[in-house]
Amino acid sequence: MTTTTGRLRTATLRDHAELLALWTLLFDDAPPEPWRTHAAAWFARFVGSPGEARFPVIESGGAIVATAIGTLELGVPNPFCAKGRTVRLANVITLPGHRGRGYGTTLVRDVVDWARSIDADRVDLSATPEGHRLYAGLGFTVTSAPRMKFML
């Protein structure tokens, strides 16, 4: 992996269009609406709430080329999450032409550091097979609990 040449910073409300364009790349054949409208409103709500969400970005040449999201989830305290404070890591993406420069690692470390700063118990994520190596290399482990969902 080469050295990161981009600049790490926290996203601002002005970045919403670039972030929505990056998030769209995460979903093959996703319809443009209604999710983009909801995502834009959600981002506007949480971008100014550093205790609830973290939006690190890597900027190169004046454009955002990589991003990730960390959101605080409050749950019932339990033996594996004593305070009930979990950070959900999501939407980790680097534009194809900028991969291999350590941006994903930088972004994940930023969210983990943020999770520590807000006194979270752990960081959870759902990984694609392509992402497993990155996350395992940073200390994430596969759990025995299968992920399930119910669509409403």
**Domain CATH for 48:** 3.40.630.30
Residue 144 in any domain: the answer is: no
Report, as an integer, the average pLDDT of 46-65.
97
Residue 147 in any domain: the answer is: no
- Percent of the chain, pLDDT > 90? 78
Residue 142 in any domain: the answer is: no
Residue 24 in any domain: the answer is: yes
The set of residues, in sequence order, having a beta carbon less than 8 Å from that of 95 and lying 6+ positions away, is 22, 25, 65, 66
pLDDT at position 149 is 84
Question: Side chain identity at 37, as an amino acid letter?
Answer: T
Coil, strand or helix: which one is 37?
Answer: helix
Give the residue carrying structure tokens 């979270």.
120
pLDDT at position 1 is 34
Residue 152 in any domain: the answer is: no
Domain total in the chain? 1
pLDDT at position 30 is 75
Report, as an integer, the average pLDDT of 111-126.
97
Residue 101 in any domain: the answer is: yes
pLDDT at position 4 is 56
pTM summary value:
0.93
